[in-house]
Structure 1
């Protein structure tokens, strides 16, 4: 794409900038400077990507090579980097000398003023004790873990050295992405996620490292790092890897690249980090919060780059097999959805014109890779044939009807406990597999929680219960001390049904890919009933042009986490931006671990085109109030073009249901509600059965007919 002034302004309009916004652009120095840079000689874009899985036994990671692969594909197909301008160092290539040499030769010696540079590292990190007594951060290269008198020690590439190398660049446009952590908290696994902290502090530094650092400090004495550093963690936290369906990757790198694939407008770095955090918080709560380290000159856009297309995407074509078949990568799907993503799902090939779109259908898949074939092409279509690098947007989502739960068993359980638990789970419906923690992805983990004995503060009692994959306890799942593990599993039948219901609800999340135009704001109410917006969700991939700022009084929370005081009162402002009525529903899991639903009054089950509805209404006695217990809540706001009749019918079976009124229900049978919801969305889609080879074993959901968005918040 050639970035002349006309193209730049046209792109801003495509991204939803109004005419008034263009007038603002003409007066905005930063954007003018960005345009001048783009309109001038194209700056070179260079990247050095480092990923290390295999250190020395038993210190191995699983997802670092995937991180490098995802970043490389993102840079080439999303941001237009040339493959020859990207150097990857993996495994044995990523030694101390290899990283140092590549940084100097590929980045320092080639980058000129105004060029864009990205450095990425995925691997182990740890703390390093200096002779002065100071403790600093270190990255561990391949070959950096050695044995000294039977004890493993690490020869580090100090983070300070990396920042000094950054100062030696001729350009200020440097981004460093560090998907690693430094402090070890006593566990190689946190619940079912592997950590990237090496379990030993380095007691000495390689003398060559100190000498090299001294040389750099003498040449570049500036006190602040150049560019931007994006870290996977906040201080004192550990970076994690996630495993799912033949895929292992860094949780931070996956969420970051997923967010960048789905961009529909240029994104400031803090907005990108907020969206990344929103994806991660669903798994880890606040146990892993990405952070940025800033320099004096802040990037206007993430990576100092504009995407080559203004449209978000769920995948790309990576190889063309013939005129009708291709290999794809599913780059923009969240990991929980990827686990269950079904065959026959369909994608539209993104084109720059208004011709009849090409549609491809998923025929096979392993992890992120899939095979698609081209469906019948209209004779009037002027679209190009299949090509490497074409972007794919989801149009039809297929989900199997037999989705179940995978349960991981904590590694700290005794062998006999694991055997008994596996036997007990075999009799529970909808448990598809039981695995050892860390072996593969899981929906939850069965483990023990230590608690102080009320009669003896020195005594710890262990109780069986469930954890989310990132280590957050599932409320109301822990029993009494001394309970047999088979009895514990039997006791967990109902909580497991709630977890499966929540999993099915989450499989409908589609804020980035939905074509149904809606916008929803989450608001907190003060004592005077004054509302303040604390979160906003909006679908953007719509045929109709909509206002990208429907709630003018909203300013995004920079860190992506919504925190609420206990007993806060909430409401949702639901805006229908389309041309047809929508039907709506709130479902979620509250702090107590209860499945809840909001049902509108039967006379107000739809929102008319252009209408905004406040939920719940100001009915006397009906308040949407968070509990007095600290913890996490996730609420899903569901919109559909068709009435949710089966879901409504199932909800009326709940014991607390009261006819002819607006209400908030605690659900007796959330799993039945989940299946009813999927059936409603399936019926609303009305997909031609001739398109489907499997007409009865999966739900087929048309992205034009529904939108599910999520609000996750912490009660403090």
Structure 2
């Protein structure tokens, strides 16, 4: 008898989830062998909440999660119940929950919409909600449903800032005395205290759902669920600058996801035209991928030339006929060389200040001003309330340290002062676009460990799609990841990165760091060079760093390439000591662009063409206090 892929996933799900279902649902053995069911709720419009602006990304979120469940969890359409917009009333939700709970199957409830704090308790706001508190459901009540897991993309506290580029999913139905979120239950809950949506690649979506669905699809069952959650938390912290907290207590382990993928064929047309769901690639990356990027089937036999990208969807043309449901994998990534830093203006700036700021930024060739846009900017230009100088904020309102001065200054003078930082920010944006820890096929494993004051493993990354099996020596179990807070080290702590080349070709390695309080740093990997050639089979220490200054955010990029890094070498002088070297703004941008040229198979054209078989960029995000 031949089992279909979906039947196989059902069987695997039953075996791995049986203990969890038995404990939480109290069901019988027969019940625990039945497949998952899902209730997906998305609400943009709340007609009875006068003056409350509609949301825009909740239906996109529901579609993202639905595609994920169909293509990665192996659920069928009949296993998924959708309640969206005006169908998602409190009565309808409670009635549906009752039916699904009675069926005795493990249940996933996903909610995207407004949250609130009602009588100091977190609550979900449904389509028939009123200012008097009708149409809301306390989160604690939802979590009492037998056998339930709850995923939320909402917010239970007032937002840190107001702005045109972000829409927060919190509505105050009664006066809120503090910025607390009340007591948020943790059992069987997956939620991050962000609850914000914006436009990514032209499509509104919740940032948490966009990032979570990306990593769950890309990694699938190739890595533990905690790895996908770690990447999700790091990406959100890095892209927004927010010190978010991710709640993921008591989630079942060993969820039987299928192998990871980058895209799935959703429809086919004439001349082998394809409509592709790009769930396995970051929406931040998709916004910058150019046409003629190349994807392929898992065996590489059928190549797909990408024609266009729109949100999380793409159009492509395949070399051979493909079918709906076929999985696709990134092969070549094309990035246009006209990348700019997206800078928004703080809404609190006066009209005159906005005009002055726009005029000053217009002279910056690498900067694009987002004036009144709903897209997520890279940074926000603001003005210090105390000193009177201009400075830069992360999108959620956290000031970049040292970007403001203590003296009053005009916009033009501020932009001249900020020019090196703007160039360094663009350099780190380029580095971020080279990240490919899930799609790379390079056989490389990088480990981060703390040496002092106590020795312990912190993180380890290896591409799941390398054709070479991961050596047994790298199977050491890492300590449980604390997803609630960022990886944090103290000033004076010493850490070390190590690298294992378990492939059959030499690797050229460089390490570049972005320190949000300084800029781009080069890490010397040996006495006379910033790069290191690692022969096949070698497992070596890369760099030992005593962190001697606090830092809001520190991201270390470890870049491994089969291609020689000649441009990078020509643009960087020899190290004179073992400490990281700070590279000035324009020089850092030139250095990173030279590195992109080394990684590209077409360095002289208008685009960088990066082959996942030839390079791997791994990123480690931490803060130093």
TM-score scaled to structure 1, two decimals? 0.77
1:144 pairs with 129, 137, 140, which one? 129
Residue 179 in structure 1 maps to residue 153 in structure 2 = yes
Residue 547 in structure 1 maps to residue 471 in structure 2 = yes
Decide whether aligned partners of structure 1 residues 444 and 293 sit closer, same or farther in structure 2, where only a CA change above 3 A counts: same
Q: Is the 1:125–1:139 contact (alpha carbons within 8 Å) kept by the matching residues of 2?
A: yes
Show CA shifts across 1:210-249 (max 9, x none).
xxxxxxxxxxxxxx9997111222xxxx422232221222
| In 1: Cα distance, 2:97 partner to 2:186 partner | 15
Equivalent in the alignment of 2:180 = none
Residue 581 in structure 1 maps to residue 506 in structure 2 = yes
In the TM superposition, residue 686 of structure 1 has moved relative to its aligned partner by: 6.3
In the TM superposition, residue 84 of structure 1 has moved relative to its aligned partner by: 2.6
| In 1: Cα distance, 2:249 partner to 2:478 partner | 25
CA RMSD of aligned residues (A): 3.4
1:53 pairs with 44, 67, 77, which one? 44
1:43 pairs with 34, 37, 41, which one? 34
Q: Is the 2:114–2:155 contact (alpha carbons within 8 Å) kept by the matching residues of 1?
A: yes
**Which structure has the larger Rg?**
1
| In 2: Cα distance, 1:433 partner to 1:533 partner | 42
1:198 pairs with 171, 176, 179, which one? 171
1:503 pairs with 429, 433, 444, which one? 429
Residue 440 in structure 1 maps to residue 363 in structure 2 = no
| In 2: Cα distance, 1:27 partner to 1:154 partner | 40
Equivalent in the alignment of 1:673 = 591
How many residues of Structure 1 are paired with residues of Structure 2 in the alignment? 602
Decide whether aligned partners of structure 1 residues 549 and 127 sit closer, same or farther in structure 2, where only a CA change above 3 A counts: farther
| In 2: Cα distance, 1:42 partner to 1:2 partner | 16
Equivalent in the alignment of 1:101 = 95
| In 2: Cα distance, 1:227 partner to 1:116 partner | 15
Q: Does the residue aligned with 1:340 lie in a helix, a strand or coil?
A: coil
**Structure 1 residues 295-310: aligned runs within 5 Å:** 299-302=252-255, 306-307=256-257, 309-310=258-259
| In 2: Cα distance, 1:69 partner to 1:45 partner | 18
| In 1: Cα distance, 2:619 partner to 2:81 partner | 38
Equivalent in the alignment of 2:181 = none
In the TM superposition, residue 536 of structure 1 has moved relative to its aligned partner by: 1.2
Show CA shifts across 1:182-224 (max 9, x none).
11146344x9533212134379xxxxxxxxxxxxxxxxxxxx9
Decide whether aligned partners of structure 1 residues 250 and 328 sit closer, same or farther in structure 2, where only a CA change above 3 A counts: same
Show CA shifts across 1:43-76 (max 9, x none).
2332111111222544222221111010011111
1:420 pairs with 348, 356, 368, which one? 356
| In 1: Cα distance, 2:440 partner to 2:150 partner | 32
| In 1: Cα distance, 2:75 partner to 2:18 partner | 26
Decide whether aligned partners of structure 1 residues 39 and 226 sit closer, same or farther in structure 2, where only a CA change above 3 A counts: farther
Decide whether aligned partners of structure 1 residues 585 and 225 sit closer, same or farther in structure 2, where only a CA change above 3 A counts: closer
In the TM superposition, residue 285 of structure 1 has moved relative to its aligned partner by: 4.6
Residue 707 in structure 1 maps to residue 616 in structure 2 = yes
Q: Is the 1:600–1:663 contact (alpha carbons within 8 Å) kept by the matching residues of 2?
A: no
Decide whether aligned partners of structure 1 residues 424 and 285 sit closer, same or farther in structure 2, where only a CA change above 3 A counts: closer
2:536 pairs with 579, 587, 609, which one? 609
**Structure 1 residues 526-537: aligned runs within 5 Å:** 526=452, 531-537=455-461
Show CA shifts across 1:157-186 (max 9, x none).
22233234x13xxxx3x2111111111146
Q: Is the 2:507–2:562 contact (alpha carbons within 8 Å) kept by the matching residues of 1?
A: yes
**Structure 1 residues 35-184: aligned runs within 5 Å:** 43-55=34-46, 56-105=50-99, 107-109=100-102, 111-112=103-104, 115-129=105-119, 135-146=120-131, 155-164=135-144, 166-167=145-146, 172=147, 174-184=148-158
Decide whether aligned partners of structure 1 residues 323 and 543 sit closer, same or farther in structure 2, where only a CA change above 3 A counts: farther
Q: Does the residue aligned with 1:647 lie in a helix, a strand or coil?
A: helix
| In 2: Cα distance, 1:387 partner to 1:268 partner | 29
Equivalent in the alignment of 2:450 = 524
| In 2: Cα distance, 1:525 partner to 1:252 partner | 33
Decide whether aligned partners of structure 1 residues 38 and 496 sit closer, same or farther in structure 2, where only a CA change above 3 A counts: farther
Unaligned stretches of 5+ residues in structure 2: 177-183
Q: Is the 1:241–1:251 contact (alpha carbons within 8 Å) kept by the matching residues of 2?
A: yes
Decide whether aligned partners of structure 1 residues 142 and 555 sit closer, same or farther in structure 2, where only a CA change above 3 A counts: same
Segment drifting more, 387-396 vs 178-187: 178-187
Residue 357 in structure 1 maps to residue 301 in structure 2 = yes
Show CA shifts across 1:541-598 (max 9, x none).
1122222761626324232731101122222111111101101011111252221012
| In 2: Cα distance, 1:69 partner to 1:639 partner | 35
Decide whether aligned partners of structure 1 residues 501 and 243 sit closer, same or farther in structure 2, where only a CA change above 3 A counts: same
Segment drifting more, 546-555 vs 604-613: 546-555
Show CA shifts across 1:340-393 (max 9, x none).
11111111223xxx6x62111101222222110013x5xxxxxxx311121111
TM-score scaled to structure 2, two decimals? 0.88
Show CA shifts across 1:307-331 (max 9, x none).
2x32x11111111113511111211
Residue 640 in structure 1 maps to residue 588 in structure 2 = no
Show CA shifts across 1:101-133 (max 9, x none).
33234x234x23xx231111111111112xxxx
Decide whether aligned partners of structure 1 residues 423 and 72 sit closer, same or farther in structure 2, where only a CA change above 3 A counts: same
In the TM superposition, residue 492 of structure 1 has moved relative to its aligned partner by: 1.6
